[in-house]
Structure 1
Amino acid sequence: MTMRLLAGLAALCSALLCGLATPAPAVAAEQAFRIGIAPHTSARVIIEQYQPVRRAVEAALGRPVEIVTAPDFTAFARRAMDQEYDIAVTTGHQAEMLRKDAGYLPLLTYKADFRAVVVTAAKGPYRTAASLAGTTVLGLSPSSLVTLWGQHWLAGQKLPGIQLRYVSAADSVAQLILAGDASAGFMSLANRAKLAPEVQAQLSTIAESRPMAGRVYMLNGREAAVADPLRKALFAFGETAEGKAYFDANQLDGYRTVSDEELEAMEPLSDEVRSVLKAGK
């Protein structure tokens, strides 16, 4: 019995020693740097569209980078507030909320004006603002900049009986209008220009906003140390052939800096996003 016990203890000690000598597991792969893009169109299009930016950021940081989005603008705002993105690319009203409430830092924006438009079917019966009374109008989500602008525009027209319906993306807005399921819809001028030429030809614009702070790159405060090198790298990317092709393809005209004052001007609409998030919509 004693000999068996001693043998067992020896085997156990040997196993423990072997276990200690076993090489440690490989260190987990470095977590990807996440660039969140507000869902202005389908996830597939967003991921394809931002591949040149992903490659430029990846080269600048020397770490994996992934492009992600969210089901709608409200979900995107909530995820950004929950610190899920290292960079959040979103319109000025959400950017201001992230700056003020969640510690994000403005990096840059695009040179091209950002405008919202109200579109209808070119050959349909809805040719004027007054003709929309009593109809269904489409927005992207309660916290989308184009939707908030559109709701204010509708309120200014004092149109009775409007039913506002939310859909996922600008191409869905166009399809539903052309199918006769809605009289009009809100989208950005840039997204209107990205629709297929045959779809664009079937739409008419009946109202257009003034320029607003468009897609702003907001850096999560936890990554503040890379703000200056990242900004320089993005501007340098804009001067490359790939960068210029990216701007041309998406009618963005290049990058420019964005000021705190420019974002502060969006504060009234930022408050509306806060209300949407608080209501849990």
Structure 2
Amino acid sequence: MMEKRLVLSENGNKLIPVLGSRVLSQRACLLSAIFTAITVLTITTLTLILTMATGLNRVWAQPPPMSVAEKSFETPLQFGLLPYISTRKLFTYYLPLKQYLERTLGRPVRMSTAPDFATYIKRAEEGSYDLYHTAPHFAALAEQAYGYRRVSQYRRVLEGSILVARESDIKKATDLRGRTLLTPDSLAIITFLGEQWLRDNGMQPGVDVKVKNTPSHNNAILAVMHGEADAAVTASNVFETMLDETRERLRILGKTQRVPNVMFMSSPRLSDTEYRQLRQAMLSFTAKGAGKEFFAKTGYVDMVEITDNDMQSLIPFVIQLNNKFDMP
């Protein structure tokens, strides 16, 4: 027979008789509920702790935020190349310099060019290039008008060679009267020098001698070699790097005046730190150092600083360039 016990009612205001088994059942239920609550609370707490720990691990695993200077070195340096020869040859020539800059600066370098000189100048004005490899009068213009800063230039001076076919009957400058002279792009300083050479020899470009522009130095040289034109003016170093069979079929009729050679300029958007590092890297790319093979192949001799005298000597060509821009 079950033992009866008195227990307190739910509202706590009276005692009620219950069987012993029911008391045990209630106690068991109460203990079960307490255990369940503790278990749920423990699991919830552990889950919360694990979640927080995971979140902290993710935070700790993230690299610290980069400064503006650090971010800039993740961005490729835009290296603009003057389109004075074919794009294939241009990129082949300057690949060693690109690779050197990537190693030295610790950032990617992206080479690009343009279809012609006018487009190239326009892109420089728009800020497309961080490192601007360019003709000397374009460099002077970029410094004066666009805020570009001097980086370096080739030691070898720039001059033009007037070329004719080796078997041509053109023996002296005045024999070009009534003939055709091919030049590179109309804005090229070599074109300006070639036209001045005609004037110095008593001939007016476009009147006594027909002047015809071609897309590049290579095109002008090859046209004369194939008998498609009487003569061409080209940068002397470009002619010197042509294949032997090409040079053997041509003859140098004359030379133009000399001017500073190709220059490298820095975009004004580069920070002072980036500019200094770029300039130092370029001036360290020398014929006795990292640039040994490059200079041996291209004939540019070495890398040097750009001086005030260099820029001063280019003023007449910048004026001539601006006059070209103003022409309809």
Give the TM bin, normalised by the shorter chain: 0.7 to 0.9
Deviates more, 1:220-229 or 1:105-114: 220-229
CA distance in 2 between partners of 1:137 and 1:209 (Å): 14
Report if the CA contact (8 A) 1:81-1:102 is conserved.
Answer: yes
CA positional deviation for 1:211: 2.6
Report if the CA contact (8 A) 1:113-1:211 is conserved.
Answer: yes
Q: 1:255 aligns with which of 303, 306, 311?
A: 303
The answer to whether residue 259 in structure 2 is matched with residue 212 in structure 1 is yes
CA positional deviation for 1:74: 2.4
- Return the letter of the residue paired with 1:33: L
The answer to whether residue 235 in structure 2 is matched with residue 188 in structure 1 is yes
- Which residue of structure 1 lines up, in the alignment, with residue 156 of structure 2? 112
Report Cα offsets for 1:169-191 as digits up to 9, x if no partner: 22211111122221111111110
Q: 1:43 aligns with which of 87, 90, 93?
A: 87
CA positional deviation for 1:30: 5.1
Q: CA RMSD of the aligned region, Å? A: 2.0
**Equivalences for residues 92-131 of structure 1 within 5 A:** 92-131=136-175
The answer to whether residue 206 in structure 2 is matched with residue 162 in structure 1 is no
**Equivalences for residues 47-66 of structure 1 within 5 A:** 47-66=91-110
The answer to whether residue 312 in structure 2 is matched with residue 264 in structure 1 is yes
Deviates more, 1:202-211 or 1:248-257: 202-211
The answer to whether residue 323 in structure 2 is matched with residue 279 in structure 1 is no
CA distance in 2 between partners of 1:240 and 1:134 (Å): 47
CA positional deviation for 1:215: 0.6
CA positional deviation for 1:277: 2.7
The alignment partner of 1:222 has SS state of coil
Report Cα offsets for 1:44-102 as digits up to 9, x if no partner: 11111001111122223322211211222222222222222111111211110011001
The answer to whether residue 260 in structure 2 is matched with residue 228 in structure 1 is no
CA positional deviation for 1:109: 0.7
Report Cα offsets for 1:138-187 as digits up to 9, x if no partner: 11112101001111111232335321111112221111112222111111
Report if the CA contact (8 A) 1:33-1:86 is conserved.
Answer: yes
Cα 1:224–1:132, aligned 2, differ >3 Å: closer, same or farther? farther
The alignment partner of 2:284 has SS state of helix
Give unpaired runs (5+ residues) of structure 1.
Answer: 1-26
Report Cα offsets for 1:187-213 as digits up to 9, x if no partner: 111101111111011111112123311
Report Cα offsets for 1:237-265 as digits up to 9, x if no partner: 32676520111111122211111331121
- Return the letter of the residue paired with 2:184: L
Cα 1:167–1:239, aligned 2, differ >3 Å: closer, same or farther? closer
Report Cα offsets for 1:198-234 as digits up to 9, x if no partner: 1011111112123311110011111142222112222
- Which residue of structure 2 lines up, in the alignment, with residue 77 of structure 1? 121
CA distance in 1 between partners of 2:290 and 2:300 (Å): 13
Report if the CA contact (8 A) 2:152-2:283 is conserved.
Answer: no
CA distance in 2 between partners of 1:133 and 1:188 (Å): 22
Report if the CA contact (8 A) 2:284-2:290 is conserved.
Answer: no
User: Which runs of structure 1 show a deviation greater than 4 angstroms over 4 or more consecutive aligned residues?
Assistant: 239-242
Q: 1:238 aligns with which of 270, 286, 291?
A: 286
Q: Normalising by structure 1, what TM-score?
A: 0.84
Query: What is the count of residue pairs matched by the alignment?
Result: 253
CA distance in 1 between partners of 2:141 and 2:276 (Å): 22
Report if the CA contact (8 A) 1:72-1:140 is conserved.
Answer: no
Cα 1:66–1:208, aligned 2, differ >3 Å: closer, same or farther? same
The alignment partner of 2:197 has SS state of helix
CA distance in 2 between partners of 1:238 and 1:203 (Å): 32
Report if the CA contact (8 A) 2:285-2:303 is conserved.
Answer: no
Q: 1:171 aligns with which of 218, 221, 234?
A: 218
Cα 1:134–1:224, aligned 2, differ >3 Å: closer, same or farther? farther
Q: Normalising by structure 2, what TM-score?
A: 0.72
